[in-house]
């Protein structure tokens, strides 16, 4: 007599355990390894060692595929490689997993602005800045200003830069960007005031002194311009900045004779 094949069934308890194991996320050990690899990837990224950064981040993603921080870091890595399509893909993936992820929204905005998708970029920057848990909203406001400026809307750019400074009055790039927008509208007195405030708060920030000197030249205030350029030489270690400041000082000195 031919025996029929026996069918083996898991007991109910074992069946439920198998289902739970299949549905569970990565183990604690896998998450720890993923976090360590992500941090190593960030270190390589900071060192501009992109192949090693990609290797570590790809492995981290395999170990913990639900982690939005890994997706965002992969987005930054692809951005550094110049692959903006992949960068956008990973940043959107991070936001999909964590909609309130302000850093990812800010970085996505940068990618979108890079391909001149101005309105989409603006939405991402505004969403990032509006997040009360975001510790660096000044960056999103600054990027918002840069986008409005590139879009040809200086009034809104000015407002965004001012909001960046309200969020953090030591955020140096916002001062020079704001003064640039004001100067572009012929408001050189206002531009000089913004830069003078920058010089007061951040006296070691050479670009502020350089732009202040140029603003004073526009306002026909050569003595004050000369002092500003002299301060560039006092605080800057950048050869090109020092060269430009010295050239302005020579010109001003020759005009005095």
Say which residues have a Cβ less than 8 Å from residue 124's Cβ, sequence separation at least 6.
105, 106, 108, 109, 112
Show the 3-state SS of 53-92.
Answer: HHHHHHHHHHHCCCCHHHHHHHHHHHHHHCCHHHHHHHHH
Under 8 Å between Cβ of 207 and 176: yes
Task: Report the CATH number at residue 254.
Answer: 1.25.40.10
pLDDT of residue 16: 47
pLDDT of residue 129: 97
Under 8 Å between Cβ of 97 and 91: no
pTM: 0.85
The token pair at 78 is: 């692809």
Say which residues have a Cβ less than 8 Å from residue 251's Cβ, sequence separation at least 6.
none
Inside any domain, residue 136: no
Helices (H) and strands (E) in the chain, counts: 14, 0
Inside any domain, residue 210: yes
Inside any domain, residue 152: no
Under 8 Å between Cβ of 186 and 153: no
* Angstrom distance (rounded) from CA 206 to CA 241: 8
* Angstrom distance (rounded) from CA 105 to CA 118: 14
* Angstrom distance (rounded) from CA 166 to CA 168: 5
What averages of pLDDT result for each successive group of 10 residues across the chain (257 residues)?
46 45 67 95 95 96 96 96 97 97 98 97 98 97 98 97 98 98 97 98 98 98 97 97 96 73
Inside any domain, residue 15: no
pLDDT of residue 123: 98
The token pair at 182 is: 């004001």
Rounded alpha-carbon distances, angstroms, from residue 233 to 75, 91, 214, 252: 39, 41, 15, 15
Rounded alpha-carbon distances, angstroms, from residue 196 to 62, 150, 175, 244, 249: 51, 25, 10, 20, 19
The token pair at 52 is: 């090693």
Residue 187 has what DSSP assignment?
Answer: -
Q: How many residues does the chain have?
A: 257
Inside any domain, residue 105: no
Inside any domain, residue 256: yes
Inside any domain, residue 218: yes
pLDDT of residue 6: 47
Count of structural domains within the chain: 1
Inside any domain, residue 137: no
Structural domain span for residue 245:
179-257
Letter string b/e over residues 51-87, b meaning 16 or more CB atoms within 10 A of that residue's CB: eebbebbebbbebbeebbbbbbbbbbbbbeeeebeeb
Under 8 Å between Cβ of 210 and 233: no
């Amino acid at each position: 007599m031919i025996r029929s094949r026996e069918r083996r069934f898991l007991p109910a308890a074992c069946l439920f355990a198998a289902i739970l194991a299949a549905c569970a996320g990565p183990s604690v050990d896998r998450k720890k390894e993923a976090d360590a690899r992500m941090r190593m990837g960030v270190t390589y990224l900071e060192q501009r060692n992109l192949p090693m950064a990609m290797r570590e981040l790809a492995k981290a993603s395999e170990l913990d595929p639900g982690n939005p921080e890994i997706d965002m870091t992969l987005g930054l890595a692809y951005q550094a490689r110049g692959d903006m399509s992949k960068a956008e893909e990973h940043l959107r993936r991070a936001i999909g997993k964590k909609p309130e992820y302000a850093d990812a929204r800010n970085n996505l905005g940068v990618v979108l602005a890079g391909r001149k998708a101005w309105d989409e970029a603006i939405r991402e920057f505004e969403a990032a800045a509006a997040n009360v848990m975001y510790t660096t909203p000044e960056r999103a406001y600054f990027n918002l200003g840069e986008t409005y400026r590139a879009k040809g809307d200086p009034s809104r750019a000015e407002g965004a830069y001012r909001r960046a400074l309200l969020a953090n009055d030591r955020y140096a790039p916002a001062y020079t960007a704001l003064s640039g927008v004001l100067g572009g509208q012929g408001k050189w007195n206002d531009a000089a005031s913004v830069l003078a405030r920058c010089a007061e708060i951040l006296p070691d920030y050479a670009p502020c002194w350089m732009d202040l000197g140029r603003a004073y030249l526009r306002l026909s205030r050569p003595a004050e311009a000369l002092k500003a350029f002299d301060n560039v030489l006092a605080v800057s270690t950048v050869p090109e900045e020092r060269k430009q400041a010295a050239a302005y000082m020579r010109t001003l000195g020759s005009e005095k004779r």
